[in-house]
Structure 1
Amino acid sequence: MAGKTQKIFFASNIKFLRERRKLSQETLASALGLTRAKLAAIEAGNTKSPQPEDYLNFSDFFKISIDTLLKIDLSKLGELKLRELETGNDVYIRGGNLRVLAISVDKSNNENVEYVPVKAKAGYMAGYNDPEFIAGLPKFSIPNLPTQGTFRIFPSVGDSMLPVPEGADIVAQYIADWTDLKPDTPCIVILKGQQDFVFKLTTLNEDGTIRLKSLNPVYEPYTVEAADVMEIWRFYAYTSREFPEARSEMETVLAAIKSLEQRLGQMEKD
């Protein structure tokens, strides 16, 4: 019995991506070393068997894997997913453009929980996907962690996330698929270049950018491009040497009012 024929979207995807980039056929053909006539034939589906180097050239130019170009109808994807693909988050890529997380394991093949001290920040940003660098970080065993997932410890710096104090150690879980993030999820976000680790309430916007918001109202929220983010780690717990301060009377009254407002709002809905 013959297998089901796989539909191929290569021709329509090339046209879609070219028009998305606002490129003429002549401009794209020139960039790829093709004639305009050959590109037109590829986009029209009149070339049933493009050469292997053609697939590679299109994949390299658009930064999207050959498998995706062949198997996925890109025109049906939302803007957020398209931006994710264009910034290297392609589930079919098996190479440098896919976010790769290096881990280390103990003698029982269980993942370690590595600690990234402040002095190792620069090295981490350069070697975050280097197994040797990760293996050299301090390692800790933390009880009651979920058995699934990868965890790491990052020290908090500054007062932007008060009441979580500066110097607290944040235990966080690695997020591979950023679209799983709920709005205002507290996360450690690793930024590229000469930027820093930040601990913020993190929201993935519809346009593919990432909004970072502090708990401390003194600091204004800001937005970064997804391409400027190396890793995102969801907050799990924190430890601190600072003893928490007791609530003031005013804070207690305000909390009681807020709780009452929430109950009244729920009663109105019911």
Structure 2
Amino acid sequence: MRAQDIFWSGNIKYLRLRQKLSQETLSEKLGITRVKLNAHESGRTANPTIDDLINFSEFFRMSIDSLLKIDLTKLSEQKMKDLELGSELFMKGDNIRVLAITVDKDEKENVEYVPIKAKAGYRSGFSDPEFLATLPKFNLPNLPRNGTFRMFPTIGDSMLPVPEGSDIITRYIQDWTKVKDETPCIVILKGEQDFVFKQVTINRDGTMLLQSFNKQYFAYTVPVSEVLELWEYYSFHSRQLPEPQTDMQQLMKMLQEMQQEVKELRGKK
């Protein structure tokens, strides 16, 4: 790419001013010096590091591709809002979400297990191959060849009917635009928030609706920019036998089946 085609410096300054932030304030939020920020904005940093690319991208909720290749100062206000609320580039994740993996001696991908004690470290080390190398890893038979799999533990009863203490086997989702409504996923959130196992629906306003399987828990939304990774449910492992269905549960199941049949009949008319 030619130097005149890179809009990094102008975009960083434009986004800072757009949020009415001083260089001092933004540098504090990003955890860098004001001198370094000024170097980015003035064009003296010709080749930003990967850490800087990710840092600015996550803060401004812009894909790295957009920050580098698009002159944001030329875009309409609506287009800017679309990008900030979860642009297609961000949702597809091709240029922002880097998946680290480990392989065995035969170059076959391992299934890493993230134990409870490693959950806090995972949020900061999920893209670091050295951190992943410290996790327990194994191979499972009959897993599809097309995909990267990881196992996460569950805690609490918000995942019912999946028993508490089960281990969820999941497949990595790179492109969030293909997530169907109410897809069961392990959601890796930023900050001090925990991993959650929820039914995920991605809204058009750039938020993600997270619904518990246990209906006693309220659903809530988070900005897509607060999500680090999505892992789609594949199966679960548990030593606990499922509880037999109660009469009420069986009745509810019958009603749901009847509602589905009525819906299908109406669709054929």
TM-score (norm 2): 0.71
1:18-77 per-residue CA deviation (whole Å, 9 max, x = no partner) reads 6x99959xx89x97xxxxxxxxxxxxxxxxxxx9759989x9797554653169x96696
- Contact residue 181 and residue 204 of structure 1 kept, 8 A: yes
Worse-matched range after superposition: 190-199 or 78-87: 78-87
Hey, what's the Cα distance between the residues in 1 that align with 2:266 and 2:224? 40
After the TM superposition, which residues 1-270 of structure 1 pair with which residues of structure 2 at under 5 Å, given as runs?
A: 23=18, 64-65=64-65, 67-69=68-70, 82-84=84-86, 93=95, 98-270=96-268
Q: Distance in 1 between matches of 2:16 and 2:205?
A: 16
Distance 1:92 1:10 in 2: 18
Equivalent-residue separation in structure 2 for 1:126 and 1:231 (angstroms): 12
Contact 1:79 1:206 in 2 (8 A): no
Inter-CA distance 23–240: structure 2 relative to 1 (3 Å threshold): closer
Point out the more displaced range, 227-236 or 82-91: 82-91
- The range that moved more, 73-82 or 198-207, is 73-82
Report the Cα offset of residue 268 of structure 1.
Answer: 2.5
1:260 CA drift (Å): 2.1
Q: Deviations over 1:167-214 (max 9, x none)?
A: 111001111121111111111011111111110111111111111110
| CA displacement, residues 110-163 of structure 1 (integer Å, 9 cap, x when unaligned) | 110000011111121221111011011111211111101110000111100110
Secondary structure of the 2:196 match is strand
Q: Which residue of 2 aligns with 1:46?
A: none
The answer on whether the counterparts of 1:87 and 1:226 sit within 8 Å (CA) in structure 2 is: no
Aligned-partner Cα distance in 2 for 1:261–1:243: 29
Asked if 1 retains the 8 angstrom alpha-carbon contact of 2:184 and 2:200, the reply is yes
State the one-letter code of the partner of 2:124: A
Helix, strand or coil for the counterpart of 1:152?
strand
Q: Corresponding residue for 2:35?
A: none
- Contact 1:74-1:82 within 8 A present in 2 as well: no
Distance 2:91 2:254 in 1: 45
Q: CA deviation at 1:243?
A: 0.6
Please list the CA deviations of residues 219-247 of structure 1 after superposition, one character each: whole Å capped at 9, or x if unmatched: 11111122221111111111111111111
Based on CA coordinates, which of the two structures has the bigger radius of gyration? 1
Closer/same/farther in 2, CA of residues 56 and 133 from structure 1, 3 Å limit = closer
| CA distance in structure 1 between the aligned counterparts of 2:45 and 2:189, rounded to whole angstroms | 34
Deviation digits for residues 83-115 of structure 1 (CA, Å, limit 9, x no counterpart):
33599668675xxxx221211001111110000
Paired residues of 2:208 and 2:224 also in contact (CA < 8 A): yes
Letter of the 1:264 counterpart: V
Task: Give the length in aligned residue pairs.
Answer: 232
Q: Following the alignment from structure 2 to structure 1, what is the Cα–Cα distance between the partners of residues 264 and 236?
A: 31
| Structure 2, unaligned runs of 5 or more | 24-41
Unmatched runs of 5 consecutive residues or more in structure 1: 1-7, 32-50
**In 2, distance between residues paired with 1:258 and 1:90?**
34
Secondary structure of 2:130's aligned partner: helix
4+ aligned runs moved over 4 Å, structure 1: 8-11, 20-24, 51-57, 59-64, 73-82, 85-93
Percent identity among equivalent residues?
A: 45
